[in-house]
Homo-oligomer: A and B are copies of this chain.
Amino acid sequence: MAKPKPLEQLQLELVRLQYWLKCTGQRLLVIFEGRDAAGKGGTIKRITEPLDTRGYRIVALDKPDSREATQWYFQRYVPHLPAAGEFVLFDRSWYNRAVVEPAMGFCTEAQYRAFLDAVPAFEKLLVDDGILLLKYWLAVDQKEQEQRFAERAHDPLKRWKLSPVDLKARTKYAQMGKLRDTMIERTHTAHAPWFVVDFNDQKRGRLNLIHHLLAQLPYREQDIPAVELPRLKDKPRREKVTAKALRVPEVY
């Protein structure tokens, strides 16, 4: 078996993927779900690092404001769906209502049930419209999660990421596991399957996820045409700002 590609090479493939999206006008939506500290944010960073900032968007929505809370449940997510050529990454998603909200008491039992009923139909509408949809669950054992929490609590630069909700969620690990299973049972469909990734080793988890993501999409065929740079007529100039502005001091 061939040696798996290192991160750098996967990131080059991601650039190819983005180019393919741009050329074909395909729309890609990837949902990242998982417990706190599972590694969603870090994975998203690794994926987007090599990409052109025009062309992808990371969507991490806050809790709904008071007006949004009365609207159609999916309404606040819809404006963020990808247009032609766009790659959208959801750091958490509508699945908040499947695990976090019921565990924390942020939604009613009726809202929870209605959500599970609605999701497959909603996602089918998107997929039938041609949106490429991938859903990942980043799995992490409680022992590992606790270790990461401990590191965060210890690290003065990370501990502020531990919100009161995170701390409360710690005590609900088992309950959230059941909710996750119900979520997958009810929303793992042919048109929008769930992919579970072991993230107990974050670095390997990230590589496996990116490798898998790339394998789902037929981006390879796209050839990037050569670009020719005509010779300039004049000799190159210096960028000399003559207008009065402030110079950033050269400390480095």
A-side residues, CB < 8 A to B, are 4, 12, 15-16, 19, 22, 25, 27, 35, 41, 44-45, 49, 52-54, 58, 60, 62, 65-68, 70-75, 78-79, 81-85, 91, 114, 117-118, 121-122, 124-126, 128-129, 131, 136-137, 139-143, 145-146, 149-150, 152-153, 156-162, 167, 170-171, 173-174, 177, 180-185, 188, 193-198, 200, 204, 207-209, 211-212, 224-230, 232-234, 236-252
**Known A245-B188, A252-B204: A41·B65 in contact at CB below 8 Å:** no
Whether B65 lies near A67 (C-beta < 8 A) is yes
Q: Do B181 and A243 have beta carbons less than 8 Å apart?
A: yes
Contact between A72 and B227 (Cβ–Cβ < 8 Å)? no
Number of copies of this chain in the oligomer? 4
Q: Which 9 A-B pairs have the closest CB atoms?
A: A70-B84, A184-B243, A142-B236, A143-B236, A194-B245, A181-B243, A207-B252, A139-B239, A197-B248
Question: Complex: how many Å from CA A54 to CA B171?
Answer: 23
- Could you tell me the distance in whole angstroms from the C-beta of A130 to the nearest C-beta in chain B? 9
Cβ contact of A246, chosen from B49, B196, B228, B236, cutoff 8 A = B196
CA distance A81 to B73 in the complex (A): 11
> Mind listing 15 A-B residue pairs with CB under 8 Å?
A4-B251, A19-B160, A45-B53, A71-B81, A71-B84, A143-B236, A159-B226, A167-B229, A173-B237, A181-B241, A183-B243, A193-B245, A196-B245, A204-B250, A208-B250
**Cα of A238 to Cα of B16 in the assembled complex, Å:** 37
Q: Is B185 a contact partner of A70 (Cβ separation < 8 A)?
A: no
